[in-house]
Structure formats: C-alpha cells, structure tokens
Amino acid sequence: MFSWIFDTYGNMFVGEWMNHRVVKFDLQKDSCSNVPPTIQAVHSSILTDNHPTFSRTKLHPSNYYYEAIEVVVNNNSFYILTANSSADLYGHVYKHHFDRLTPMQNLIAWHGKCCNKDQFKFTLELLSNETYILVVTTYNPNVTGPFSITIFGSNQVHLKNISE
C-alpha cells in the first residue's frame, strides 16, 4: 500500500508500507516550463473486451482492459502526454518493461481523472536511450471504449501498440 504527502517546498514523499520505506521525489522548479504546444504524436484506438486485462492493485483485484503503447523519443526533453475519451481513463507510464502480473514493477508515473475531465495528463522528462511503456486503461474495471493519446513536445516521438 502506498500513501503520499507533499511538504511546503512541493516535494512529494511516498510511503511504501510493505517495504517499510519512504521515497522522496524532489521538486524541480521550472523544469516543465519549456514544453512547446507542438503535437509530436497521436495514437487512436478502442479498448474492447478482446484486449488483455490486468489488476491495478493486489488488494482489490479487478479486470481492467488495457492497451500498452511503446513510447520512444529521439531527443532527451520534457513531453506532455494527454488522453481523450468518452470513458474515464487512467494512465500508467513504465520504464523499460510492463508486466501485467506485476503492475507496480518499473512504474514511474500514474494518473487519472485529471482536472475533473476524467482523463490523464503527464509532463515527463523522457530520455532517448530509454524505452517507455504507456498503459492506457479505464478508471473503473470492465469498461471499454474509444480513446486517443496526444503527445506534445519539441522533438519527434514514436508510438507503437505492443499489447499482447
């Protein structure tokens, strides 16, 4: 189980109770201010009951349909990853590899129901020598529907559906 708090400086502390540790994420002031509004990639798809499923948590196992999208960038930079759908979306970003049986492994970011718009939005620094996996799923289990992903930045982005 995880819990998180913020200090007065904007740093985030995440408690990992099963591992008995606290991880600090430092605030990087103005680190995201230079992301241009230039669309670098768009991916559209439909989550169906033919898509693979996974359970986001072990405490409350449920089936969430998902699509795994490999994200590769040409240059190190900050990028904005946004989603649009009629369904409430939830997004996970993994570094290197995504294994649906261990969904917390390699997880670097997760988000859902952004800004009361029922979508997700990430601003992340992505490195050209790394592979990232964006897992698109829904906020509630067993939900299907169309979605689109738009990535903004100053450099080219390559997207590839790698779902099982």
Whether residue 33 lies inside any domain: the answer is no
Coil, strand or helix at 131: coil
Look up the pTM and report it.
Answer: 0.78
SS3 content of the chain, % helix, strand, coil (to 5): 0, 50, 50
Digit-coded pLDDT (tens) for 57-103: 777 778 999 999 999 999 999 999 999 998 889 899 999 999 999 89
What is the DSSP annotation of 23-36? EEE---TTTTTT--
Same domain, 76 and 111: yes
Burial classification of residue 3, based on how many CB atoms lie within 10 Å of its CB (0-12 exposed, 13-18 middle, 19 or more buried): exposed
Whether residue 69 lies inside any domain: the answer is yes
Digit-coded pLDDT (tens) for 24-53: 666 555 555 567 788 899 999 999 999 999
The answer to whether the beta carbons of residues 42 and 147 sit under 8 Å apart is no
Digit-coded pLDDT (tens) for 121-164: 888 999 999 999 999 999 889 999 999 999 999 889 999 999 86
Same domain, 95 and 14: no
Same domain, 43 and 114: yes
CATH of the domain at 58: 2.60.120.380
